[in-house]
Structure 1
């Protein structure tokens, strides 16, 4: 059967899930696109959908793994990103006729193949495209179905098939009922993420701050973060994974997410809320979509307001934080939304 034919209604939809190759799917530590791809893949498989995950060879899935890239290029300098990305994308496109849907999570390169194959492509746009990338997305917006990941992360220059926020496996995040008097910064150490602002706010509030995440901007880290790390008032925990990550997310009295860019989603915000940890976030990007101001945390405009919000964090019911994630940001909800989108795309085709 070719990818252009209507699938047999008595068998599961066959989905080729195309992951990025910067990191393993799922990642050991950092890798938000790969993490979202993994969570969706596992939730779709749980719903009985036949998913083949095209990812690095060291990836893991309960579906079928198909890989040609030996290791993530961020883990191995010998893996040339451009060369292996081309081979990775070609791998799925050469097998396109075996699938009903190709779900592209790997940015704009796969769009170039959309007019060369008959299998429809759904592309999750993992962030507001820059002016450099927009020409590519505009060119193929009538050939590919785009999905935005938050209501505020939709370019007015593009046509979208749906808005589907990311989901998480809530059962993997234990509910933290006994927080300690500590604040948490969790994310890339980069000016965009506001690590230095979080340090300043925590110090003004006289509350210890734990910092967890990869160092993405070494100069910023050396000049604006490291001088404040004393092991007491400011601690750097490194790029946490596994149980250490869960413990950090669930034990803090609040997550400080004082970003300096229009963040398209923010998985760490949802993960903290799932653990019952309220979030104090700047009103940038999708934060007002995710954090219910006064209910699951506070959305603020200045560092001074963030300090004030810390004083009021006891007003937030941690059980409400977790319940809101269960309602709006579960993996099953995300998978159901994509399943409906796949069905609409196939019915139209």
Structure 2
């Protein structure tokens, strides 16, 4: 078991006083917690866990054996199945989920950050279960959420991502550790795409906007759709006007995000949240994003970036973002998206669901 000291100092800002809670945090198994590069669900589990520990709660993190945490670590597999081809993902996930519910009596609350499958265990234990819904991969998974809607507590990560057939305990935006980000002293004139390379994320749109503006585009992220990368992205990568940086790890994340003139987030789907959007703003980098999904909840139009309806509007916004106050963007983000706020909101939910149990 590997532990590291939490860097977060939590000062409660809401009325969440009460005894320390025993919390089980169930993280996914695709990647290490926290992830080395990509892994937004694992990133959430890590930030929540470290924030809860810093706030004085007793936390057990259920994650891969190579995970880094200041909490107690419980693991049933040594590495994430995305990082070790010898691991059968379904087998690993079944053993992983079972392990937290087998210890349910050890906890006041189980926090499920693992999608819908753990819900099928929730009625078998008396410990309340809080589930953060990170979006819906398909309408086909919704019946599972509907089945347990009355007996578990759901938290949406944006108002935009709420499903009309479900009931929610709260909407809680993700927080980030602002200690890892800072306003860049000398940002460049280039544009940035930061995220998984997939049609949903609009990588090709970013390439086209940069071409029309005559600016260099840096692309950072894992390749999630090989065909899309091969046909829509790779032919434009020349190392000069379009550069592919690969997956960016935590040590260089702030430099890449902070060094750009603007982040292009021209998504083709209703994104539930968007870590890179908040992290860019934490660096003072303005964001030009498609006006859909959670983007209007994250971006203050004309202050921290611009919400656009099409590529022509995105091109028109490129020069406008240069007039935004980068220090002001970072300050605005720091007031809205802290781990402290996120943890306080979740503790409120925990105490509510614990109090509702017989």
| TM-score interval (norm. to shorter) | over 0.9
Identify the range of structure 1 (169-178 vs 35-44) with the bigger mean alpha-carbon deviation. 169-178
TM-score normalised to structure 2 length: 0.94
Distance 1:262 1:71 in 2: 31
Distance 1:129 1:348, change over 3 A: farther
Q: Which residue in the other structure is 1:70 paired with?
A: 78
Q: Which residue in the other structure is 2:119 paired with?
A: 111
Aligned 8 A contact 1:128 1:154 in 2:
no
Q: Secondary structure at the match of 1:106?
A: coil
1:19 aligned residue (22, 27, 30): 27
Aligned 8 A contact 2:158 2:171 in 1:
yes
Distance 1:331 1:180, change over 3 A: same
Aligned 8 A contact 1:17 1:52 in 2:
yes
Deviation for aligned residue 1:323: 1.2
Distance 1:80 1:128 in 2: 23
Q: Which residue in the other structure is 2:328 paired with?
A: 320
Q: Secondary structure at the match of 1:184?
A: strand
Q: Which residue in the other structure is 2:284 paired with?
A: 276
Aligned 8 A contact 1:177 1:318 in 2:
no
Identify the range of structure 1 (237-246 vs 161-170) with the bigger mean alpha-carbon deviation. 237-246
Q: Which residue in the other structure is 1:244 paired with?
A: 252
Superposed CA RMSD? 1.1
Deviation for aligned residue 1:286: 0.4
Q: Which residue in the other structure is 2:227 paired with?
A: 219
Q: Which residue in the other structure is 1:308 paired with?
A: 316
Q: Secondary structure at the match of 1:225?
A: helix
Distance 1:129 1:162 in 2: 21
Deviations 1:77-118 (A, max 9, x none): 211111111100100000000000000000111101111100
Aligned 8 A contact 2:182 2:258 in 1:
yes
2:94 aligned residue (80, 83, 86): 86
Deviation for aligned residue 1:129: 5.5
Distance 2:132 2:250 in 1: 26
Q: Secondary structure at the match of 2:322?
A: helix
Q: Which residue in the other structure is 2:350 paired with?
A: 342
Deviation for aligned residue 1:324: 1.6
**Pairing of 1:139-158 with structure 2 (within 5 A):** 139-158=147-166
Q: Secondary structure at the match of 1:284?
A: coil
Deviation for aligned residue 1:10: 7.4
Q: How many residues align?
A: 341
Deviation for aligned residue 1:339: 0.9
Distance 1:10 1:226 in 2: 54
Q: Which residue in the other structure is 1:54 paired with?
A: 62
Q: Which residue in the other structure is 2:184 paired with?
A: 176
1:37 has 2:45 as partner: yes
1:254 aligned residue (244, 249, 262): 262
Distance 1:10 1:179 in 2: 45
Distance 2:185 2:353 in 1: 43
Q: Secondary structure at the match of 1:109?
A: coil
TM-score normalised to structure 1 length: 0.96
Q: Secondary structure at the match of 2:245?
A: strand
Distance 1:133 1:14 in 2: 30
Aligned 8 A contact 1:19 1:54 in 2:
yes
1:187 has 2:186 as partner: no
Distance 1:106 1:10 in 2: 27
1:293 has 2:290 as partner: no
Q: Where does structure 2 lack aligned partners over 5 or more consecutive residues? A: 1-16
Deviation for aligned residue 1:204: 0.3
Q: Where does structure 1 lack aligned partners over 5 or more consecutive residues? A: 1-8
Distance 2:201 2:254 in 1: 20
Q: Secondary structure at the match of 2:307?
A: strand
* Runs of 4 or more consecutive aligned structure 1 residues displaced over 3 Å after TM superposition: none
Deviation for aligned residue 1:11: 4.5
Distance 1:188 1:112 in 2: 30
Q: Secondary structure at the match of 1:174?
A: coil
Identify the range of structure 1 (325-334 vs 265-274) with the bigger mean alpha-carbon deviation. 325-334
Deviations 1:255-290 (A, max 9, x none): 000000010000000000000000000012101110
